[in-house]
């Protein structure tokens, strides 16, 4: 599960942007709420999911308009395999924010885990029409096809996901360089490891990434 969480570390940047936007326009979300959110998110990132769930749930009772916290509650429930409860959280969130693409992506994952493949596929295809280069959507569609026994369809989506995933490698590398320049070496190494996971072992960038890893480790 830790690999899954790290796999999507890049997209936490977009979540943070959403969070800051919410804070700026919602008076009910104050500094105290933000501190509680960051505490809960740290528990989530450390895989203390039950503790994270308690903190997110309590926070959301006090700040019902803190949409990013509600989103994280849904994700935590998903990783705890409490799919029915996760579906309710995401459904409520999407009722308030119909255009929240991250919520739709994770609702589709809940539906997939629950065996509602047709509904999950419909949700993902709607998102794919808005962003046809998102490798997460393509990868999730691949998993649905695989579970339906459609190997050819699964492989086709995997090939597309691989193509667009490689485009994100440069983002992870630049994030790693940013962390390295600011002496946050552990996060820099995490980003580089994620980049390596997206590449074939024979890809030309692998050599450069490994060299950067060695440089960072030398200066730790």
pLDDT in tens, 147-159: 999 999 999 998 8
pLDDT in tens, 174-206: 889 988 998 888 889 998 998 888 787 888 889
For domain 132-220, give the fold: 1.25.40
Q: In which band, very low, low, confident or very high, does the pLDDT at 28 lie, cut at 50, 70 and 90? A: low
Predicted confidence (pLDDT) at residue 115 exceeds the cutoff of 80: yes
Predicted confidence (pLDDT) at residue 78 exceeds the cutoff of 50: yes
Predicted confidence (pLDDT) at residue 170 exceeds the cutoff of 50: yes
- The residue ranges of every structural domain in the chain are 1-120, 132-220
pLDDT score at 220: 67
Predicted confidence (pLDDT) at residue 19 exceeds the cutoff of 80: no
Long-range residue pairs from 32-36, CB within 8 A, at least 24 positions apart, any chain:
33/59, 33/62, 33/63, 33/66, 33/69
What DSSP string runs through 101-112? HHHHHHHHHHHH
Predicted confidence (pLDDT) at residue 216 exceeds the cutoff of 80: yes
Q: Would you give the distance in Å from CA 204 to the centre of its chain?
A: 27
Are the folds of 1-120 and 132-220 the same?
yes
Domain 1-120: state its class.
mainly alpha
Joined tokens for residue 214? 């060695």
Q: Which of 34-38, 80-84, 133-137 has the lowest mean pLDDT?
A: 133-137
Q: In which band, very low, low, confident or very high, does the pLDDT at 162 lie, cut at 50, 70 and 90? A: confident
Record the pTM: 0.68
CA angle 173/157/174 to nearest 5° reads 5
CA–CA dist 141, 161 (Å, integer) = 10
pLDDT score at 79: 96
């Amino acid at each position: 599960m830790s690999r899954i969480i790290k796999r999507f570390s890049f997209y936490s940047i977009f979540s943070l942007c959403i969070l800051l936007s919410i804070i700026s326009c919602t008076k009910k979300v104050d500094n105290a709420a933000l501190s509680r959110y960051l505490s809960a998110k740290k528990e989530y990132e450390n895989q203390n999911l039950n503790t994270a769930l308690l903190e997110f749930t309590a926070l959301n009772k006090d700040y019902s308009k803190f949409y990013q916290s509600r989103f994280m509650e849904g994700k935590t429930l998903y990783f705890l395999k409490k799919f029915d409860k996760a579906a309710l959280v995401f459904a409520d969130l999407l009722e308030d924010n119909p255009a929240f693409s991250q919520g739709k992506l994770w609702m589709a994952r809940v539906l997939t885990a629950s065996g509602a493949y047709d509904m999950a596929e419909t949700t993902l295809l709607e998102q794919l029409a808005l962003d046809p280069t998102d490798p997460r959507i393509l990868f999730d569609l691949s998993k649905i096809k695989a579970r339906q026994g459609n190997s050819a369809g699964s492989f086709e989506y995997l090939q597309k996901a691989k193509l667009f995933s490689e485009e994100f490698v440069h983002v992870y590398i630049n994030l790693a360089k940013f962390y390295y320049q600011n002496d946050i070496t552990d996060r820099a190494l995490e980003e580089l490891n994620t980049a390596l996971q997206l590449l074939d072992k024979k890809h030309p960038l692998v050599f450069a990434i490994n060299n950067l890893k060695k440089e960072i480790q030398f200066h730790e």
